[in-house]
Structure 1
């Protein structure tokens, strides 16, 4: 569903992604791992068009998208839950969801609208009229995920969704992602290794903008001891 083929990305003259390739199949979750500064968020930015790759290709369901604008990439079927949530604090929960609404594809397995999002995250239904900036951190994360789902994406990208959340809320978010991966292709950037490996079907590990491991989660777990140096953990 999503494929990166030897992409190279730069910030000015600084070469930050070096021939990065990965594939994500429909109905699977790929955990994109690496220590801080490894290039994970840059990779997400290259997929969504914030930092178009200087060379290489990004394709969605076989169609090239690397040279499209972020808006057209979103409309093609890429949904983003950014690091830090970035909800609209002065809009209500309902308005945050409605502003992102896009029609579903005719062949979509599930159609996401406000009712479907609130069924997945019941607390959002209770707070539809509440200003988003007054929500708890966990509720804001649920809203950020719900807002991305309102675009009816084919692929959902999540950048550090457990960051700053209490363990109970992290568990709730992980449960939601476990359900979502049966319906969507998901790329998860996550520093919480337990959460990431608990959800992942496949793993790509980056170090200084290069892929140092790509394979299924079981193989990664079997080699975790030797690969831990690339994560900055023992």
Structure 2
């Protein structure tokens, strides 16, 4: 039976004096993939920043398996079991593929949480194994995204946050990313921020939809699709 793993409850966040998240509440259940949708500027990446501690909420709570995260440092949050695949990949270009993975390797996780190894990542992404001694900055955009996903997994997370993993990728690579997400969600709970609605609908179990920093829908993928015509104006896509 699915249980709540990650939860935001009435989260409010600010950039300076600008109020950007307004009482945001949604939850990720164990063993599920939640697609966090919305047009540009809706607050999706800000939610990710609030979860990982880059932008601590001024009000409300963020919990992982019942443990409060909102007053923890980003390092503490990572060790607690929240992994991040950031927007723009942010790999270390002057390090090799292997070094990028090794630098992210977490300590032995607590009982019940999977420990990811370079061998696991190479099995998911064989091209990374072929390029393990190559400088990451010389990889193609798709290969850099594979590396960013692998690096996020190497932290041994309970929850993996993925911010726009299909951004700037060719359609064939987007399909490969979709296939990887479908396989990964059998192993780990995922929050996926994604502008590519087709990809999101292919892999999502649940959906939270934001507009101007507020949740305007939260439910299952099927419930979202039943109301998609009504909600289309919040998406900013055709």
> How would you bin the TM-score normalised by the shorter chain?
over 0.9
Report deviation, 1:109.
Answer: 5.3
Aligned with 1:84 (options 88, 101, 107): 88
Match of 1:189 in 2: 193
Unaligned runs of 5+ residues in structure 2 are none
Report deviation, 1:183.
Answer: 1.2
Report deviation, 1:106.
Answer: 3.7
d(CA) in 1 for partners of 2:113, 2:75? 23
| TM-score where L is the length of structure 1 | 0.98
Aligned with 1:62 (options 61, 66, 76): 66
Match of 2:231 in 1: 227
Aligned with 2:181 (options 172, 177, 182): 177
Structure 1 vs Structure 2 CA RMSD: 0.9
Secondary structure of 1:99's aligned partner: helix
d(CA) in 1 for partners of 2:65, 2:179? 27
Q: Deviations over 1:68-95 (max 9, x none)?
A: 0001100110000000000000000000
Aligned with 2:7 (options 3, 6, 17): 3
> Quick check: 1:28–1:201 contact (8 Å CA) kept in 2?
yes
Match of 2:212 in 1: 208
Q: Deviations over 1:106-155 (max 9, x none)?
A: 43353201111111111000000000000000000000000000000000
Q: Does 1:14 align with 2:18?
A: yes
Secondary structure of 2:104's aligned partner: coil
d(CA) in 2 for partners of 1:7, 1:16? 10
| TM-score where L is the length of structure 2 | 0.97
Unaligned runs of 5+ residues in structure 1 are none
Match of 1:152 in 2: 156
d(CA) in 1 for partners of 2:115, 2:124? 13
Report deviation, 1:28.
Answer: 0.3
d(CA) in 1 for partners of 2:34, 2:7? 12
d(CA) in 2 for partners of 1:31, 1:76? 22
Report deviation, 1:105.
Answer: 2.4
> Quick check: 1:104–1:112 contact (8 Å CA) kept in 2?
no
Match of 2:38 in 1: 34
Q: Does 1:24 align with 2:36?
A: no
d(CA) in 2 for partners of 1:30, 1:118? 26
Q: Count how many residue pairs are aligned between Structure 1 and Structure 2.
A: 234
d(CA) in 1 for partners of 2:110, 2:216? 38
Report deviation, 1:103.
Answer: 2.8
> Quick check: 1:85–1:141 contact (8 Å CA) kept in 2?
yes
